[in-house]
Structure 1
């Protein structure tokens, strides 16, 4: 799994500024994610910025007091750079090209993407970095079709964790399950919700997920009688890792950093830690176990 954070995006842009032709005088972002990349690039180059629809309409986005002296009438911008955050199939850029083709024949228009796959580079004039798949970006992770091939924790991810007082395995905890507010709000269907919540709280959990429009295919809960049994088992990360191993998922999204490391090491697969906003990768032993499982799976034809 190739992951890029917002910090990575900014770093990739700043270390590749020399790729941008000096004559570029207007940056245009492709909605939606391309606007983030284009805005960062425009800031670093001290250039005016707009979106595709703004460009079509001949409109430059307001840039504040500092940029007022740099803003020119739209007709005077001659060298335009259209920016996407990433290119995969090239369909988004191709769609933009069809909109802009012949619109302003007096302007020279170039196309770029911050992250590209080699197969799609013929659709753009240049790129900042090759980032092959499977890949996922921090700025659109919760709204990516890839979520259907992911495992998700609930507490700390879809909602905040309960406090010690709320986590009484009784009325206070039931009140928490019914009333806790959503935290991250994925807009795509999640493949597997994997939680250390006890099976006896399934109905309350399912009701909360329904009320907050969380779409998912499977809800896998810990089948133990009570909190005391869960604490005695002390297998929080191990339980989640077992589900991750069993199912053909690309990524596990977990809140706790220590559980993230445990899940990654046991499964041999990456885990995204929401608490620290970083990807956690397995140690060498975990990687070896993962590769061994792949070999065995291939040999038995499953």
Structure 2
């Protein structure tokens, strides 16, 4: 499973911006997510941009994000039409067909930040080949792959209850009935998997229906009380069993600790919604191995290692140990 975040998208745009020919004068984005890719490219190249409608109507977006509203292509020789990703090429081909109907007085090229192993045939430039199966941060809960995915509820579709709300009684039932959704998937979910108890099924189903969440199956813990659930302490084990039994290809989990344990138990990828990170099987083992390696390097040359480590943190801005620090969090 391949995953790319918005941060990855930015890095891909920055790389592609340096590789594009200098002859390009205008960046054109294909709605919707292609607009984000085009915006990043035009910022890195300090060039104007527009969308496909704007190109056809003769509108260029200038500084201040205002359209000039008249034709001003006299000095444009080369236009680049951009999408965030290309797989089958259907949308790119539709865009090409539309633009071919216009007798533009300039060259038109096509690009995508990400292409599949076949998608590169539909563009002139790209930044990276990302093979399928794949998903992106900006379309995760709006992707058809949800049909074969398990998705957590608390911490993903809605916030987690506060300690006061999580009383396994009146307050908790009120939380389930009234909590606002944080995101509503626009595709049907295969399995909603939650550690909420079966006694709250009716309230949960009503909430899902009220907010338009479509799903095939709602899987809940069949235990008599919150105390019984806490005594077993098997939240991740329960979710891992469902993940394996259903044959789903992805689990979207809120808790970093549970995400790591589910991946370890099933040997399958888990997307941690809170950490915005894809957790692959063996993550903890790899982090521990790296930790031992870093300790060895530090022991041999503390000053040199500290300098290199500081430079790495500044350039990457990531903390690979975050999953370990959350591993046993029970939320």
Q: When the two structures are superposed, what TM-score results if normalisation uses the length of structure 1?
A: 0.90
Q: Which runs of 5+ in 2 are unaligned?
A: 287-331
Please state how far the C-alpha of 1:63 moved relative to its aligned partner: 2.4
Find the counterpart in structure 2 of residue 124 from structure 1.
123
Distance in 1 between residues matched to 2:91 and 2:27, nearest whole Å: 17
Aligned residues: 284
Name the SS for the 1:148 alignment partner.
Answer: helix
Residue aligned with 1:129, SS: strand
SS in 2 for 1:81: strand
In structure 2, what is the equivalent of residue 51 of structure 1?
51
Displacement after TM superposition at 1:158 (Å)? 0.5
Task: Trace 1:143-182 onto structure 2 (pairs within 5 A).
Answer: 143-182=142-181
Matches for 1:104-119 after TM superposition, within 5 Å: 104-119=103-118
In structure 2, the partner of 1:200 is 199
Structure 1 residues 30, 284: closer, same or farther in 2, change over 3 A? closer
The 3 A distance-change label for structure 1 pair 278 and 284 is closer
Structure 1 residue 285, shift from structure 2 partner: 9.6
The answer to whether the Cα contact below 8 Å between 2:58 and 2:71 also exists between their aligned partners in 1 is: no
* 1:76 Cα deviation after fit: 2.4
SS in 1 for 2:74: helix
Quote the offset at 1:246 in angstroms: 1.2
**What is the rounded CA distance, in whole Å, between the counterparts of 2:154 and 2:285 in structure 1?**
25
Task: Provide the C-alpha distance between the structure 2 equivalents of 1:252 and 1:198, rounded to a whole number of angstroms.
Answer: 19
Task: Give the CA deviation at 1:247.
Answer: 1.6
Could you list the per-position Cα deviations for residues 212-257 of structure 1 after superposition, in whole angstroms to 9, with x for gaps in the alignment? 0001111000000110110011000110011111122121111111
Distance change (3 Å), C-alpha of 1:286 and 1:226: farther
Paired with 1:232 and 1:191, the residues of 2 have a C-alpha distance of 29
CA offsets per residue over residues 157-200 of structure 1, 9 Å max, x none?
A: 00000011111110000000000000122111011000000011
Cα displacement (A) at 1:201: 0.4
Cα distance in structure 2, aligned partners of 1:15 and 1:27: 15
Q: Say yes or no: does 1:32 pair with 2:37.
A: no
Distance in 1 separating the partners of 2:16 and 2:26: 18
SS of 1:261's equivalent in the other structure is helix
Match of 2:246 in 1: 247
Listed as ranges, the matches of 1:256-295 within 5 Å are 256-283=255-282
Q: CA RMSD in A?
A: 2.0
* Structure 1 moving runs of 4+ over 3 Å: 284-287
Mapped to 1, the partners of 2:206 and 2:40 lie a distance apart of: 41
Give the match's secondary structure for 2:238. helix
Distance 1:114 1:137 in 2: 12
Q: Distance in 1 between matches of 2:104 and 2:25?
A: 16
Contact 2:59 2:72 in 1 (8 A): no
